[in-house]
Structure formats: structure tokens, C-alpha cells
Amino acid sequence: MLGSGFIARFYADSIQGYRNKDKIVSVYSRKEVSAIKFAEDYKISHHTNNMEAAIAHAEVEIICIALPNYLHEEAVMLCCKHKKAVMVTKPLGRNAAEAKRMLEAAENAGIFNGYLEDLVYTPKFLKAIETVKSGGLGRILWAKSRETHPGPHSEWFWDIEKAGGGCILDLGCHCVEISRSYIGKDIKPIEVMCWADTQVKPIDAEDHAIALVKYENGAIGQFEVSWTFRGGLDLRDEVMGTEGTIWINNFLRTGFEIFTTGKGGDYVAEKAESNTGWLFPVGDELNELGYNHMFTDMFKAMEEDKSPKETFYDGYVVNSILDACYRSSKSKQWEEVKLEIWRGKEGVTKHNELTSYDDDHYLIKEEVTHYGTKKLILKNKQSGKISEKIVE
């Protein structure tokens, strides 16, 4: 385990607690005191403040990088040097260029690489994606994802040079991969329109952003991200297709509500802002946030010599989309998604499905009114005239 902070502890709890056969044998931290504490808490035999020593440790089979963004590339290159399998927390890089270098290095070294995007492993997402893939929603037209909270936990997130950006990079990476998964990861993202601003926090990066991502097949991905939202961690997804809709609330409203004066109160849930009043705990955070399913996929894929569901390539595509978001937020225009490496479909055309009603008309809409009449809205195939028809 490279890292000993907030996310490393979430990872460690899942790694050592879910499959009951995976063990952390070495931990690296930039601060020796943190490495010692982490090793004590998780009963790890080896701790160090030398990154390469942890990676090269004889018992280590796979490296889990849970470090600040600016250290990802250094850590990955050391994994390549020592031919160690590697998993990296999101985002893969601070930008697409950094992500591309890591992707190419890992593939050239021939090592297993996994991208730790936990929110495409949540139980609700896994159920929803089954429905989408089975055709339950028809053709996907729009996929929207929202992640907002009062801001991250560690100081480096707030430093634009170390982090690489603000809430777009920190939270938008989740949202983009969620939408991309629903629309189809083999469908090319082509351009982005993004608004971003620094509304509240005294930082150089953005603390609030909204973006649209156009895909080659005509589908739209949308995200809303913020470090200014008050009320806890809000994770929501919406997917709309020609045959149905899915709404998901992963965290803030889960059907579990508690009122307390705070007596005896302690930790409630990630980024909860209070432990008094009406609270919305999460029954099993490791599971609800996708960590258990994510590491199961990673380790099983490694054992079977397969690629996991999320690889460095996915992290690179996400970084490329987010780069376009940053360009758009400055230019105030649609910006092209620049993908030097693309492994999906090419030349997909926008699907325009026209439903025939009869030889002369297309069907626009069919409905039953509140007074019991069945009404059809039709379009003449030749003239284009719109008309209504009442069906007795």
C-alpha cells in the first residue's frame, strides 16, 4: 500500500476484510510516523518512508497506489521498473499527457494495471448497468452524474499544482466514467462544453462545475460537481433511454434516517457535516461506495490473467475528457476531446429512429388523456405536417 491516509484506509479495510485471503504486506508513507501507525492498525509486517523499498519488497505481488495525484506517475514508473502489478486510485493523472505516459509505460512493461474507479462498482450501479446492457432502457440518450460535498480532506487537494485541478478533476473523474459506462465505453466522446468557477473557497482551482459531453452516437453525458455543497456527500445518477429511465441515489438519501441530539455521537458517514439533528447514515460504506466489488474484480482479473473492468486506458480517456472540460471552461466554447489513443468504435453515426404509424405518417407520441381519450401525435412523411388523431 502506497499511502496511509483517508483513501488508503478505506482501501485497506476492503482489501483485508472482504475476500478474507488478501493481505497488505508493506506500507509506504511520506511520513514515517504515519507508516508506523498504519502498519500497527492493519497488522502489516513492513513499513517504510522509501517508496521504492515498498514496491520492491519481496512479498509484494501488486501495488495499490493511494497517493496524492502528483505522485502517481513516479509510483507507476517504479512499478514498471520492478515489474509489479499496479492499481491506481482516481484520477489516473493530473492531465491526459501524464495518464498517457503511465498507460504506455505499464503496457510496455507488460504489467497488470487497474484503475480504481470505485463508483462504477457500487451495488446500485452494477444492477443499473445490467438493465442498460440487457436493453431495458432501449437506446441510451442521456446519462447524468452528480457528486457534491463540502470539499476533500487533505491539504494537497487544495493546491492546484499538486492536485492538477479542483472539483472537476477530483469528482468529475467519477461522473465521466459513470456516464461513459452507461452510454458505452466503446462510443467516442467528441466534444465538451463546461462552466466552472471558484465561488466560495479561497483557492486557485475551481470549486464548482457543470459540463456536457457529446458522444459520437448522439448521446449526451452530463456532470455536476462541487466542493461548495452543504449537507454531506451527494451521489446521484440518472440515465434516460428510449424505453426507460433509471434514478439512483447512492449516499445522501438511502432510506436510512436517524435523529439525535448528538449525545454519544461520533462518525456518521463520509463527509457528513454534523452528528446532530436528522442524519443519513450509510449501512455499509465499503460496499455502498463500491470498494468491495472493485477489489474483487481487480484481484480476480489478476488471478485469471485478464484485464479488470477498469484499466489505465479508462483512466486516460477520462483524463482526456476532463482536459477538454478545462479548456472549455476557459474558452466558453465547445472544445474537442483530444484522444491520441482510441480503442473503441470509429465513425459511429447519430441514430435517428423514426417510428412509422402507417404508410403516410410517423408516430411522434401516443397518450391517454386524463379524460380517457387516446390521442396520437403524427407527422406526415411527405409534407412534414404535424397532426392529432383521436383513437376511439
Predicted local confidence at residue 266, as pLDDT: 66
Nearest Cα neighbor of 325 from 334, 314, 316 is 334
Cα separations (Å) of 205 from 81, 116, 248, 322, 323? 33, 24, 29, 14, 14
Same domain flag for 132 and 35: no
- We report the CATH number of the domain holding residue 209 as 3.30.360.10
- The answer to the question of residue 296 being in a domain is no
∠ CA 264-265-267, rounded to 5°: 140
Same domain flag for 224 and 123: yes
190 φ/ψ angles, rounded to the nearest 5 degrees: -115, -35
Neighbours of 381 (CB within 10 A): 15
Same domain flag for 138 and 10: no
- The answer to the question of residue 316 being in a domain is yes
- Boundary (domain end) residue, out of 90, 111, 145: 90
Q: How many domains does the chain have?
A: 3
Read off the C-alpha cell for 251.
Answer: 449516499
Confidence of residue 283 (pLDDT cuts 50, 70, 90): confident
Can you name the residues that pair with 80 across neighbouring β-strands? none
Same domain flag for 206 and 85: no
- The answer to the question of residue 99 being in a domain is no
Range of the domain at 374: 361-391
Same domain flag for 266 and 232: yes
∠ CA 9-14-20, rounded to 5°: 130
Answer for the pair 120, 293: CB distance below 8 angstroms, yes or no.
no
Helix 32-42 / helix 6-17 crossing angle, nearest 10 deg:
20
pLDDT tens, residue by residue, 289-342 = 999 999 999 999 999 999 999 999 999 999 999 999 999 999 999 999 999 999
Cα separations (Å) of 291 from 14, 268, 295? 6, 18, 6
Predicted local confidence at residue 277, as pLDDT: 80
What is d(CA 351, CA 128) in angstroms, rounded to the nearest whole number? 23
- The answer to the question of residue 373 being in a domain is yes
Same domain flag for 331 and 250: yes
- Boundary (domain end) residue, out of 75, 90, 105: 90
As separate numbers, helices (DSSP H) first and strands (DSSP E) second, the chain gives: 11, 17
Same domain flag for 378 and 257: no
Same domain flag for 184 and 326: yes
Same domain flag for 174 and 261: yes
Say if residue 190's pLDDT is above 90. Answer: yes
Confidence of residue 343 (pLDDT cuts 50, 70, 90): very high
What is d(CA 335, CA 193) in angstroms, rounded to the nearest whole number? 7
- We report the CATH number of the domain holding residue 45 as 3.40.50.720
Same domain flag for 221 and 324: yes
- Calculate what percentage of the chain has a pLDDT beyond 90: 83
Same domain flag for 133 and 196: yes
Same domain flag for 75 and 146: no
